[in-house]
Amino acid sequence: MQDKNAEVLASFYPHQPEDWRGGTVTFYPFLIVTKREGRDKAVWLPYWHVTQDGEKENLKYGQWAPFMDMEFFEDLLSQTRSAGYLNDEA
């Protein structure tokens, strides 16, 4: 399938990762903007977790990270913005 290849155009991640379970799990989400072969731009939303088990750190990746064409992502953002959740009003 020709649209499996993609070029990374930009990547973003939070300035401060989020901790869960009293600091034993740290969540690292990313937003990757790509140019897909045979298509237009797309967004990939991979993520990783770092879990702390005593002195040992375990790295886990999000194996079901969404990868969608930009038009779908923009539609979701537009709906969220229209509902007031992407501005200071919410």
Question: Is 59 among the domain residues?
Answer: yes
- Residue 1 in this model has a pLDDT that exceeds 60: no
34 burial via Cβ count (<10 Å: 0-12, 13-18, 19+): buried
Q: Residue 73 sits in which domain range?
A: 2-82
Question: Is 88 among the domain residues?
Answer: no
- Residue 3 in this model has a pLDDT that exceeds 70: no
Query: For 4-33, how does the pLDDT look when each residue is reduced to its tens digit (9 = 90+)?
Result: 788 999 999 999 999 988 888 999 999 999
3-class secondary structure, 81 = helix
Question: Is 87 among the domain residues?
Answer: no
Query: For 29-80, how does the pLDDT look when each residue is reduced to its tens digit (9 = 90+)?
Result: 999 999 988 888 999 999 999 998 888 999 988 888 999 999 999 999 999 9
